């Protein structure tokens, strides 16, 4: 019911506030339990058969609210800019098939509002991309995966945002007078060359101007990312984060604090980082791993 949903949302908000209230204690290295305790909480990962879903072209089911939206033919090859219109109702309808395969966990590539079909260019971290459906559609997906004991891992793109991300767009429009000037790393040159043939005059991922990098030194940026992480992790059925380009975040202590906050909210949360080189400096407990892959 609407009332019970409202109560659950308020409970989630209170729990997030509790965790954020512990931030400074956790920053100092203290945590609620030992590393050994958290290691035991992650035993489920060892029994997991993962299935990765690229939401844009995995499955599509007609849904209310998409009238008038134009998508390419479902059988067409994907390009960098086309949209097939894959959505959460389609994913939910495909769960019996996935369960039949024997999987018990799904890693979703990014699902938040974006103007790119792969959604690594995030516009709004608190909104499900409307092409994929509504938050209710996502909640229904989580409800059905939970019934099948299928865990969900979300993709966290916290190194960089996009030109359409509100705070960066504000900086583009207003320049150095923007209150968000410290959210990103600029060279003090304005206007920013985000839409220009000239090289970008701000830090961006792999020098791609469409992907401005956050300034993780800024406390407000850290708090924003922590709130995003806890907001979605607090949902029943979300079991962790796959972290995109985490080695690009150079601020000492950022990821250990991120981990402690997530673990304080959900002790069995699984955090896995996409790091293409040896990652010894990121390993801090028994539950971490760093495996060399040989071809």
- Whether the CB-CB separation of 270 and 240 falls below 8 Å is answered with yes
**What burial class does residue 97 get, using C-beta atoms within 10 Å of its C-beta: 0-12 exposed, 13-18 middle, 19+ buried?**
exposed
Helix (H) or strand (E) holding 35: helix 35-41
- Whether the CB-CB separation of 104 and 152 falls below 8 Å is answered with no
Residue 155 DSSP code? E
What six digits make up the tokens of 129?
């991309």
- How many Å apart are CA 153 and CA 272, to the nearest integer? 9
- Whether the CB-CB separation of 242 and 236 falls below 8 Å is answered with no
- How many Å apart are CA 152 and CA 146, to the nearest integer? 9
Per-residue buried b or exposed e for 160-199, using 16+ beta carbons within 10 Å of the residue's own CB: bbbbbbebbbbbbeeeeebebbebbebeeebebebeeeee
- Whether the CB-CB separation of 288 and 255 falls below 8 Å is answered with no
Residue 216 DSSP code? T
> Among all residues, which ones are annotated catalytic?
244, 274
């Amino acid at each position: 019911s609407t009332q019970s949903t409202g109560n659950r949302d308020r409970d989630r908000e209170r729990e997030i506030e509790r965790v954020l209230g512990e931030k400074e204690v956790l920053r100092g290295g203290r945590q609620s339990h030992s590393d050994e305790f958290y290691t035991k909480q992650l035993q489920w990962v060892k029994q997991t058969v993962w299935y990765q879903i690229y939401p844009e072209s995995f499955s599509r089911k007609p849904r209310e609210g998409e009238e008038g939206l134009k998508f390419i033919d479902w059988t067409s090859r994907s390009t960098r800019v086309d949209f097939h219109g894959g959505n959460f109702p389609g994913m939910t309808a495909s769960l019996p098939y996935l369960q039949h395969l024997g999987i018990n966990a799904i890693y979703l590539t990014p699902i938040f509002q974006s103007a790119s079909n792969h959604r690594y260019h995030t516009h709004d971290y608190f909104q499900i991309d409307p092409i994929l459906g509504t938050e209710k559609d996502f909640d229904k997906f989580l409800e059905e995966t939970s019934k099948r004991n299928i865990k969900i891992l979300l993709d966290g793109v916290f190194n960089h945002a996009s030109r359409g991300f509100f705070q960066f767009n504000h900086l583009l429009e207003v320049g150095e007078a923007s209150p968000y000037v410290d959210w990103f790393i600029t060279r003090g040159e304005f206007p920013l060359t985000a839409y220009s043939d000239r090289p970008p005059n701000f830090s961006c991922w792999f020098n791609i101007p469409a992907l401005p990098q956050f300034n993780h030194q800024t406390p407000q940026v850290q708090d924003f990312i922590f709130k995003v992480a806890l907001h979605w992790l607090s949902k029943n059925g979300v079991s962790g984060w796959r972290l995109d380009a985490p080695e690009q975040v150079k601020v000492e202590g950022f990821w250990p604090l991120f981990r402690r906050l997530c673990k304080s909210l959900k002790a069995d949360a699984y955090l896995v980082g996409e790091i293409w080189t040896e990652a010894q400096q990121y390993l801090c407990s028994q539950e971490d791993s760093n495996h060399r892959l040989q071809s």
